[in-house]
C-alpha cells in the first residue's frame, strides 16, 4: 500500500511539475504579451468612446477587465501550478525525512497498539531513492532492539513492522520460548500480567533488554514454542527447526525480525530473513491514537 501511494505521489509530482515549468517558462510570457496587447488594443479602440460616455473611472475598470481576461491561465495550468509546491513538499518529507504509518495488527503489543499512528525516520539508516528504495548515501545500520518498518519479503507491496533481534552473521535461536543471540540469553524480567485485547485474555509480560535498552514483550510460557506453517524462503538452509523452536544464522545483508507479541506475530520465524534492501525506516514516535491520547510519545 505504501509503495503504491509513493508511486501515485511521484506521478502527481511529475505531472504537476511539468505543468508548473511549462507555465513558468512558456505560458506566463505568452500571457503577459497577450495582456499588453489587450491593453494597447483597448486604449486605441474602446477607451475614447468609453471615457466620453462613462468617464475615466469606468474606462480604467473595463481596461483592467480586458487585461485580466487576456492574462488568465487555463484552469488546468492554474491548479497544477498551485498544487506542485505542496506535492513537492509532501513527497520530499515522506521520501527522505519522516513517513506516517498506521499499526494494523497486534503483533507488536505491548509496545505498539492496533490503531497507533506512528512516525518512521527515513534517513536513520541512509538516504534511499524514492520508489526504487536503493540506498545512495549510507549512514547507520540497524541495531538489535530497533523497531523497523520494512517491505514484507513475501509481498513487497505490504509494509511490516517488527523488532530487530538478529544482525548479519548472528546466530539467533528461539528455543522453548527463550531468545538467545550468539549463545547468550537475551535478559528478561517478569513485568506482571497484561490484558491482550487480540485474544481477550491475560498473558505474561516481560521486560527484555538489548544493549542496555529495555522494551516490553508478551510471552506465555504455557504455550508451545513449536513453530508451524513455515513458508519456504531464501537461505532457508541457514535455519534449523525442531519441536523446541528455531535456530538460524543470519546471512550477510539480512536481519532477523520478531514481533513483541511473541505468541501472535508472523515474523522471521515463519517467513525468513528481512533483506537490508527492504528497509523503509526506523519507527520512533506515536503521534496519535484516537482511542487513547496518552499513548502519544516516543517508544523503544
At residue 172, the 3 state secondary structure works out as strand
- pLDDT tens digit sequence for 231-279: 899 999 999 999 999 999 999 999 999 999 999 999 999 999 999 999 9
The residue ranges of every structural domain in the chain are 5-95, 104-298
- pLDDT tens digit sequence for 147-167: 999 999 999 999 999 999 999
Instruction: List CB contacts of 237: < 8 A, sequence separation 6 or more.
Output: none
Active site residues: 107, 162
The CA distance from 122 to 127, in Å, is 7
The CA distance from 121 to 281, in Å, is 5
The CA distance from 185 to 46, in Å, is 92
Only one residue has cell 488546468, namely 76
pLDDT at 257: 98
The CA distance from 40 to 44, in Å, is 6
**Under CATH, what is the fold of the domain 104-298?**
Umud Fragment, subunit A (2.10.109)
pLDDT at 141: 95
Taking 60 as the threshold, does the pLDDT of residue 120 lie above it?
Answer: yes
Taking 60 as the threshold, does the pLDDT of residue 1 lie above it?
Answer: no
Give residue 169's pLDDT band: very low, low, confident or very high (50, 70, 90).
Answer: very high
Mean residue pLDDT of the chain comes to 93
- pLDDT tens digit sequence for 207-233: 999 989 999 999 988 788 888 889 899
- Please say whether the beta carbons of 263 and 202 come within 8 A: no
Task: Name the CA radius of gyration of the chain, rounded.
Answer: 29
pLDDT at 222: 79
Q: Which three cell numbers stand for residue 203?
A: 498473558
pLDDT at 84: 95
Residues 164-183 have a mean pLDDT of 97
> Given 3-state DSSP classes, what are the helix, strand and coil percentages for the chain, each rounded to the nearest 5?
35, 30, 35
- Please say whether the beta carbons of 272 and 233 come within 8 A: yes
- pLDDT tens digit sequence for 27-78: 999 999 999 999 999 999 998 998 999 999 998 999 999 999 999 988 888 8
Taking 90 as the threshold, does the pLDDT of residue 81 lie above it?
Answer: no
Only one residue has cell 508451545, namely 224
Taking 90 as the threshold, does the pLDDT of residue 201 lie above it?
Answer: no
- pLDDT tens digit sequence for 85-100: 999 999 999 999 999 9
Question: Is the peptide bond prior to 99 cis by the omega test (within 30 degrees of 0)?
Answer: no
Taking 80 as the threshold, does the pLDDT of residue 198 lie above it?
Answer: no
Question: Is the peptide bond prior to 110 cis by the omega test (within 30 degrees of 0)?
Answer: yes
Amino acid at each position: 500500500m505504501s509503495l503504491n501511494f509513493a508511486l501515485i505521489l511521484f506521478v502527481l509530482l511529475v505531472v504537476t511539475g511539468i505543468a508548473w515549468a511549462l507555465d513558468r517558462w512558456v505560458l506566463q510570457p505568452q500571457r503577459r504579451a497577450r495582456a499588453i496587447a489587450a491593453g494597447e488594443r483597448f486604449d486605441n479602440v474602446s477607451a475614447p468612446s468609453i471615457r466620453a460616455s462613462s468617464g475615466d473611472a469606468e474606462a480604467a475598470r473595463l481596461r483592467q477587465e480586458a487585461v485580466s481576461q487576456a492574462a488568465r491561465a487555463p484552469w488546468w495550468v492554474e491548479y497544477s501550478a498551485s498544487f506542485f509546491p505542496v506535492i513537492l513538499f509532501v513527497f520530499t518529507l515522506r521520501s527522505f525525512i519522516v513517513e506516517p504509518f498506521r499499526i494494523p495488527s497486534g503483533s507488536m503489543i505491548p509496545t505498539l497498539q492496533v490503531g497507533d499512528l506512528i512516525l518512521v525516520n527515513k534517513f536513520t539508516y541512509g538516504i534511499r531513492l524514492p520508489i526504487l528504495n536503493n540506498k545512495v548515501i549510507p549512514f547507520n545500520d540497524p541495531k538489535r532492539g530497533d523497531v523497523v518498518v520494512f517491505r514484507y519479503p513475501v509481498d513487497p507491496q505490504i509494509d511490516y513492522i517488527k523488532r530487530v533481534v538478529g544482525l548479519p552473521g548472528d546466530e539467533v535461536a528461539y528455543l522453548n520460548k527463550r531468545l538467545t543471540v550468539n549463545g547468550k540469553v537475551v535478559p528478561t524480567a517478569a513485568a506482571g500480567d497484561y490484558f491482550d485485547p487480540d485474544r481477550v485474555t491475560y498473558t505474561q509480560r516481560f521486560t527484555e533488554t538489548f544493549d542496555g535498552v529495555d522494551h516490553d514483550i508478551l510471552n506465555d510460557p504455557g504455550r508451545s514454542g513449536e513453530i508451524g506453517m513455515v513458508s519456504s524462503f531464501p537461505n532457508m538452509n541457514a535455519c534449523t527447526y525442531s519441536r523446541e523452536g528455531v535456530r538460524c544464522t543470519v546471512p550477510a545483508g539480512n536481519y532477523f525480525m520478531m514481533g513483541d507479541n511473541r505468541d501472535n506475530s508472523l515474523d522471521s520465524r515463519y517467513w525468513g530473513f528481512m533483506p537490508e534492501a527492504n528497509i523503509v525506516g526506523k519507527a520512533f514516535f506515536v503521534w496519535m491514537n484516537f482511542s487513547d491520547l496518552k499513548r502519544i510519545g516516543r517508544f523503544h
